[in-house]
Each structure stands twice: as C-alpha cells, then as structure tokens.
Amino acid sequence: MRIVLLGPPAAGKGTQARRLAARFGVPHLSTGEMLRVAASSGSPTGLRIKALIDAGNLVPDADVLAMVAERINEHDASGGYVLDGFPRTVGQSEALDLLLAAGDHALDAVVELRVDVESLLGRVSVRAAAAMAAGEDVRADDNPESLRQRIETYLAKTKPVSDHYRRAGRLLQVDGMLEPDGVEHAIAIALGQVASMVG
Ligand code: ADP
C-alpha cells in the first residue's frame, strides 16, 4: 500500500499517517521527522536545514528527493509506505512519479486532509503545550511567526500538489476538522476499506 497524505501544517497528518501505517503494516515516512534528525547532526548541512525548518521555509527539493529516494528503496518499504510531508512541491510530485515508474510501482491513494487555515494556530498551540506537559522538546517551528510562514509556503508551494493529483484523478479529500478517530474513519471510507477496518 503506497499512500500520500497531504494537508496544511498541523492538519494532523502525522497522527493519521501513523494510524494508516499501523493498519497496513507499512512504514510511516515523515520527511519532517527525517529532516529534523538531519538538522540535529550539527554538520554544516544540518545547520543549513535547521535554519530553513525553523523559519518555516522548505528544504531544497534536491536534498529531500535524495533522502526519500534512498528511504523508499530500503527493504522495509518494499511493500509500501505512508508518505507524510512529501511531496511538498510540484517538482517533488513529478520526481515521485518518476521514482515510482522506475520501480514499476504506483500510488494506491493520495489523501488530502482539509482543515480551516484559521484553526491551525490553535492546533499548533495545543501541540506545543502537550509536548511541554510531556517533558518533550517543543518544535522550534511551532510558534506563531514560523507557522505563519509555513502556511504561506503551503499555500504557494504545496496546494498546487493537490491540483497535480486532482488532475490525475487521484485525489481523495477528507474532512480534517473532525476528532482524530473521526478523521481516521473518514479516511477509511475514502479508501473503501471501512468494512475491514471496523471488522
Ligand atoms: P508540518 O506539516 O506540521 O509543517 P513537518 O514535520 O511535515 O511539519 O515539516 C516540518 C518542516 O520540515 C517544514 O516546514 C519544512 O521546512 C521541512 N520539510 C518537511 N518535508 C519537506 C519536503 N518534502 N520538502 C521540503 N521541506 C520539507
């Protein structure tokens, strides 16, 4: 099962991607998480990536593509994966099409979580407070200023990715404003899997 999860920052992609990955027994591949690991290395490349992430800007396609191409060729991803945070530009979606075609694979589904942009700041505040309460680090980009930039970047660069898949007749849209269980259920319906997920 090869699934792409699209949606604005803090839409709940991570939560749903983890659930889908568990459901289908495939790895959850979050480019945000991979990049945060790369950013924490302290190397010159890591520092460059960290500065981009913290400001709410995108990491260049070439860096992300190299990372994803390597990751999806690993053994545990041979039966599929849930991609969270990728593709984030039309260039990345075209590159993914080529990568898939080269492996004689295709995406099974592209799911977009639809969330009101006005609710995103509240969601980020909740996430930051939850991390703090759990004694975890708060993401450096989970602050109002970076979030504003992340939303702007999303509207300019990532929204067109949905159009790319819509044109290809591949886009499934789901209401991301529901509670997590409700969103999971809506995704299951969209995937036509609801019977097996409930049963
Ligand atoms: P969110 O969706 O909540 O913004 P992510 O963890 O998906 O969080 O991404 C965090 C940051 O990592 C992004 O704002 C961006 O700087 C970087 N990033 C993640 N995925 C990509 C990608 N596919 N291309 C470029 N930059 C990315």
Q: Which residues line ligand 1 (CB under 6 A)?
A: 9-10, 13, 30-32, 35, 52-53, 56-59, 64, 85-86, 88, 92, 141, 150
Minimal-distance CA residue to ligand 1 atom 2: 9
Mean pLDDT, to the nearest integer, of 118-140?
A: 88
How many CA within 13 A on the CB side of residue 95? 16
Q: Which amino acid is at 13?
A: K
Task: Indicate the average pLDDT of the chain.
Answer: 92
Point out the residues that are catalytic.
13, 88, 123, 139, 150
Distance (Å, whole) CA 183 – CA 174: 7
**Range list of H helices, 40-143:** 44-55, 61-72, 90-102, 120-133
Distance (Å, whole) CA 76 – CA 129: 34
5 beta partners: 84, 111
Substitution site in 88, 89, 164 for ligand 1 pocket (most atoms within 8 Å of beta carbon) = 88
Mean pLDDT, to the nearest integer, of 100-105?
A: 92
Burial degree of 194 (CB within 10 A; 0-12, 13-18, 19+): middle
**Phi and psi for 175 in degrees, rounded to 5?**
-75, 110
Residue 128 in this model has a pLDDT that exceeds 90: no
**Per-residue pLDDT, 157:** 96
Summarised one tens digit per residue, pLDDT across range 157-166 is: 999 999 999 9
Q: Which atom of ligand 1 is nearest to the CA of 7?
A: 2
Distance (Å, whole) CA 27 – CA 13: 14
**Per-residue pLDDT, 193:** 65
